[in-house]
Structure formats: structure tokens, C-alpha cells
Structure 1
Amino acid sequence: MKIMANNPSLGGVATPLNEAAQEDGVPPPNGYWLVAWPLGGYSVLLEKRAVVVNAGLLIALLVACLLYLSLGSVPLAPSAVIAAVIGKGDMMTAFMVQELRLPRLVAACFTGAAFALAGVLMQTLARNRLATPGIIGIDNGATAFAVASIVGMGVSIAPPAMALAGATTAAVLTFGLAAGSGTQGYRFIVAGIGVGAVFGAITQLLLARVAIDTANAAYPWTVGSLNARPGGAVQLLGIGLALGLIAALALARSLTLLRFKDATASGLGVSVKARRLQVLMLSVILTAFAVAVAGPVGMVALIGPEIARSLSSARHVPIVASLLSGALVMLLADLAGRTLFAPIEIPVGIVTAVVGGPWLLWILMRPQRSHS
């Protein structure tokens, strides 16, 4: 008897598979592909819809990347952009693509993916589509600490470290104020909104008590912008995002079961308290690293997972689809902010807020899908 390898976030299903059954050619369930390794007798069931959705989002993201690199104050032909990316073409085009637009594109993709991944983890943990890091105050906590380091409050720690400290503080306060109700219910959401409001006020107080030049330097943190990226923060975010994705995929089966009642999840072998702590820590770390790069672009954590859920089946938590959707949303929002009113540039956080407000109302009016 061999056990089938699986990954619920990619549509995998864990099912005992007898070697004799493999030899007899037992067909996979409807809606799944059976991928078998010739050695070892292991197989994987991949959900067709999950594979198609992830592939479609990846293609859409690649097309958006090409569009992002082509459009700007100096439009470039897609063929010239591709040549510049691979190190060919004329020197001026290569400079514009590799030195000016490509680093910002990478920052947009990384931050959008991190925000959306943190969002889907927090929503699953709280069993509430509104429980994103931005709405429950984690974004504002990270922003307040990052701004404190910029305006010179006697702290010399780098912004990513300060953002992580702020996000952790906000998460601890939110869970402390919601003690007794856990992460479920609207008490948790209301506590998070209150904590976020306090940290937002602290940020404004810090900016009001410093010189105008210092306040202008810290301003991008307060609205969300990819125009002022701290050195090394993008690389740190990339490493954190890669490790976070691996950790999220490892927790995929537990995340799927955490959507049900605690007794049900425990009965199916999930250590509920330990998994909740792990998911919370992962969401806080991803949010802090993303805020350190772009500031509090909170609506991406709401829009990205909602797009992924609307495209995916309800059987699994769409981890990869949420990551790709978040990157796509952030990329398109920053592109719109750069080009719609050129030469005036609109911060990406303002663009996502304009889009995210109606989206939030739509989520509130739209019935939640069942997990059954």
C-alpha cells in the first residue's frame, strides 16, 4: 500500500492507493488528473480547475509584466522590452527597463503576493473574509513603527525590523482585546479596527511633530507607494515570500480543515492551537516585510484572495491563486497610478483604496460560499 502525495492548495487529494489498483488502471475521480511516478509507487491527484486557474493567473501576470515594462513616460515596444530583459537591444532601452522599471515591477509583484498570501491566511484563520491584516490593524502597526524609525525617534533599526515589531505588537494587542472570542466573530474585527485606528493616530502624530522635509520622507509609508523602496528591503521580502509560500503549502491541509469548527478539525487530526499560532505568525511576518517595502497597501489583501476564491473551487484554500492574484492586482494598480494622470504619479495605495472600497461593499452584500 502506498500513500498518495498531495497538496490541497494545488488541488491535491490524499487518498490511499493500492499498487495493484495502479496496475489495473483505476481512473481518477471526476475533475482530477492522476500523475504517477514510475519509481516508488507514489501518485498525485491534481484538481483540474486549480491547475487551470493557477496557469491562467500566471499567464495574466506575465502579460501584465510585459505591459508594465512597456508603458511609461517613454513607451517601448514589447519586442524591445523582451530584448532588454535578456540583455540585448540598445543601451538606453536596457537602462530604462533593467534599472528603472524592472526593480519596481519586482517590488510590486513581491508586495502584492505577500499581502494577498497574508490576507488569505488571516481570513482562513478567522473564518471571515473581512479579517485581512489591513482591516485588523496589523498594517497600521507596522507602518507606525516604520515611520518612527524614519522620523528619528532615537531608533536606528532598519525599517523591515521595525515593521515586523509593529505588526507583531498590533497582532498581540488585537488578540488580547478579543480574548474570549478567539479569532472568530466580529469582536475580533472590531478590536482590530480599534487597534489600527490607534496606530494610525500615532503615525499622524509622529509626522505632525517633525520638520516638513522629514515628514515628506516618511509620507510614502502612510499611503502605500512603490516610489521609495528602502535598500535591501525588496531582497529581504523576496526571501521571506519564498519561505512563506513553502510554509503555507506545508500548512495547506490544516488550513483547509481550519475553515470548519474546532471540534471537526481536531477530530481530523489537526492541532488547532498550534496551527493557529503558526498561521498567525506567518501572516504577521509577510505583512511586515511587505509594509517595509510599500507601506500599508491593505486592500490587496482583501481583493487578491477574493479573486482567487471566485475562480477556484471551495474544496481548498487557494494559496497559490491568491498569491498570483495579489501580485496581479498590485502590478495593475501601480501601472494605473503611473500612467493614468502622467506626469503626476498617484501612489499605489490610493489606487487600491479607490478600487477596494466598492469591492468591500460587494463582499459584504455577496453571500459566502459554502465549504461543503
Structure 2
Amino acid sequence: MPDSRNLLVNAILSVLALFLVVLSLSTGTVQVSLPDTLKALSGNADPMTLFVVNELRLSRVMAGLLSGAALAIAGCLMQTLARNRLATPGIIGIDNAATAFAVASVVGAGLSVAPSAMALAGAAAATAIAFGLAGANGTRGYRFIVAGVGIGAIAGAVTQVMLSRVAIDAANAAYPWTVGSLNARSEHSVTILGLGLAIGCLALIATSRALNTLQFSDAVAIALGTRLKATRILGLGLSVMLTGLAVSVCGPVGLIALLAPEFARMLCRPGKMPLMAAALTGAAFMVIADLIGRTLFAPLEIPVGIITAIVGSPYLLWILLRPSPRSLT
């Protein structure tokens, strides 16, 4: 039976995310009233309002909504697989590797593949290397995390080398990929992210019972009928796919994958992975962070990745200094 508390939390988060979407669409250099924003979404507003809301802001807000949800789900999966609160795509180097491959495509480093495909390839490569270096431990334990940190550092250095060896215009075009930004995101990349997120959610729904058993010991999970190896490979694959697609849209937006699952666990009843709550929280965090970045020092814009890093870094230190009071699931 569905848990009434979790359903209530998800409903509240859904309303909050929807409100933040409308608020972000209406707020900016050109202010649009909330009623006019809703009219623009239905296609009944004046041409100027339609242009501002639907052409200038809607794709950006949708990019933030979908990428935030994707990063949060990826973080929740990775933390559960590793049984470690620090095992998120950003901390174990998947974000940096995806960024390095995407930047290689943007600056034309002998490659002409689309950034989204390159980001997926980078995420998969980083995960495979970290998994291999972890040895028999797989995704479990600190060896996997330390290997990922090292891979992320190398990928970050490769990105800087590529940017330092190209023309200034090419470096400027690639710069948003290195800090995380939702500015001028293409509808095509947002659509691909939306399709990938939908496929990932369907796979999670189909395997939710098996994934939830990963909170127990291996012996208990096997006794409950879980095929551990297949379930872990599926969870890891979904995490890599969602991270790669999100990075291909917004770049390496830091700490969303850490903050959103933690916040969701605080709100939901323990016992299951709060994937829906984490996705809604990540989406809300991304939209509000982008709104703050756009409006705080307007017309100067602060990339969303910088906003999330400023807010999330103290929380990361708090996690490191304070033992976890709750289970990962």
C-alpha cells in the first residue's frame, strides 16, 4: 500500500515545483504578471508576453526542471548502490568526465559528435574506470569514491587544457559547460533529456521493488528474490544515463545530486528510496537557483552551477562532520 506520508510529501513538492516554474517564467528583466504568464502558456497572451514567456524563458525553465530531476535521481541511485551519502555523480567524477567529453565536442578537439552523446560517453567511461579500480568492492566502500575523485580531477584538468589551447571565442562558447548554466539551452537537447528521463522513470517503476531491497544486506536481498548483479548494473546504468543527459544540457551543476536526495530522506518515511521526492526536490532546487542567478544582480547573470555550489558546499561540510542519523533509504 502506498505510504500516506510519502504521497503527501510528493504532492506538496509537486505544487511547490509548479509554483516555482510559473514564478521563474514571470520574473526577470521584463516582469510578467502571474495571470499573464498562465495566459501565455495557453497561447492567449499578447505577442510580447508570448515571446518573453514561451520563447525566451520556457526552454530554460524546462531545462532546469528536467536536469534537476535527473541529477537528483542519479544521486539517489548512486548513494544507494554505494551505501554512502557522498557517492554522487559530481563527487565521484562522473560530472567532470561528462563535461570534458562535451567540451571536447564544443571546442572541436578533433570531434564532431553532438555534446549530448559525448557527455554520455564521458559519464560511462568514468564509471567504468572507477568500477574497475574499485576491484571486488564494486560500487561499495570508499575505494570507489576515492577512485572517482581521482578520475574527476583528471577530467577537470583535461578540460582546462583543452580550453587553454583553443581560440578565445571557442573557449567562451565552452565556458558555460564548465560551471553549469541554463542560458540558451537548445530545445533539441532539452527534448532528448526529457525522453531519457521518461525512459529512466519507467525503468525505475518496473524495478522499484528490487532497487529498494538494496538497502538490506546482500544475503537478505538475495533471500527476497533480488538478482543483485543485474539490479546493480541497471541502477548504475540509469545513474550514468541520467547524469550524462543532464550534463549535456546544463553542464556540471554541483551538489544537486547530493542535496536533493538528502532533503527528500528528511521528509519521507524511511524504508524506500525516495526517488519521486528527490526528483521533485532536485527540480525545485534547480529552478530556484537559476531564478536567483538571473535576478540577484540583474542584468549580470550568475550561472546556476555557482549558485548551487555556494549553497551546497556548507551542507557538504556538515555531512562530513556530522554522522548520518538515518539510513540511506
The interval holding the TM-score normalised by the smaller chain is over 0.9
Q: Which amino acid aligns with 1:278?
A: L
- 1:236 aligns with 192
Q: Which amino acid aligns with 1:295?
A: G
Identity fraction in percent: 58
Tell me, yes or no, if structure 1 residue 346 matches structure 2 residue 299. no
Partner SS, residue 335 of structure 1: helix
Q: Indicate the structure (1 or 2) with the bigger Cα radius of gyration.
A: 1
Tell me, yes or no, if structure 1 residue 280 matches structure 2 residue 259. no
1:154, distance to aligned residue in structure 2 (A): 1.6
Tell me, yes or no, if structure 1 residue 369 matches structure 2 residue 326. yes
Choose which of 178, 188, 202 in structure 1 pairs with 2:158.
Answer: 202
Given the two structures, how large is their TM-score scaled by the length of structure 2? 0.97
Q: Give 1:313-324 correspondences, 5 Å limit.
A: 313-324=269-280
CA deviation vs aligned residue, 1:39-72 (integer Å, no higher than 9, x gap): xxxxxx2210011000000010111111101110
Count of matched residue positions in the alignment of Structure 1 and Structure 2: 328
- 1:21 aligns with none
Aligned residues of 1:220 and 1:228 also touching (Cα < 8 A): no
- 1:160 aligns with 116
Q: Give 1:35-184 correspondences, 5 Å limit.
A: 45-184=1-140
Q: Which amino acid aligns with 1:369?
A: R
Q: Which amino acid aligns with 1:209?
A: R
| RMSD value, Cα | 1.2
Aligned residues of 2:60 and 2:184 also touching (Cα < 8 A): no
Q: Which amino acid aligns with 1:370?
A: S
Aligned residues of 2:182 and 2:250 also touching (Cα < 8 A): yes
Aligned residues of 1:249 and 1:319 also touching (Cα < 8 A): no
- 1:222 aligns with 178
CA deviation vs aligned residue, 1:157-188 (integer Å, no higher than 9, x gap): 11111011110000011111111222121111
* Runs of at least 5 residues in structure 2 that lack an aligned partner in the other structure: none
Given the two structures, how large is their TM-score scaled by the length of structure 1? 0.86
Q: Which amino acid aligns with 1:217?
A: A
CA distance in 1 between partners of 2:328 and 2:31 (Å): 46
Partner SS, residue 137 of structure 2: coil
Partner SS, residue 68 of structure 1: helix
CA deviation vs aligned residue, 1:124-161 (integer Å, no higher than 9, x gap): 11111110001011111110000001111121111111
Q: Which amino acid aligns with 2:127?
A: A
Tell me, yes or no, if structure 1 residue 327 matches structure 2 residue 288. no
Aligned residues of 2:59 and 2:187 also touching (Cα < 8 A): no
Q: Which amino acid aligns with 2:7?
A: V
CA distance in 2 between partners of 1:109 and 1:371 (Å): 24
Partner SS, residue 46 of structure 1: coil
- 1:32 aligns with none
CA distance in 2 between partners of 1:77 and 1:282 (Å): 39
1:371, distance to aligned residue in structure 2 (A): 7.0
Partner SS, residue 221 of structure 2: helix
CA distance in 1 between partners of 2:79 and 2:207 (Å): 14
Q: Which amino acid aligns with 2:105?
A: S
Point out the more displaced range, 265-274 or 358-367: 358-367
* Runs of at least 5 residues in structure 1 that lack an aligned partner in the other structure: 1-44
CA distance in 2 between partners of 1:228 and 1:86 (Å): 23
Greater fraction helix: 2
CA distance in 1 between partners of 2:202 and 2:325 (Å): 28
Q: Give 1:260-271 correspondences, 5 Å limit.
A: 260-271=216-227
1:196, distance to aligned residue in structure 2 (A): 0.4
Comparing both chains, which one has the higher relative contact order based on Cα–Cα distances under 8 Å and sequence gaps of 6 or more? 2
CA distance in 1 between partners of 2:187 and 2:173 (Å): 14
Q: Which amino acid aligns with 1:306?
A: E
CA distance in 2 between partners of 1:143 and 1:95 (Å): 31
CA deviation vs aligned residue, 1:202-234 (integer Å, no higher than 9, x gap): 000000111111100011110000114245111
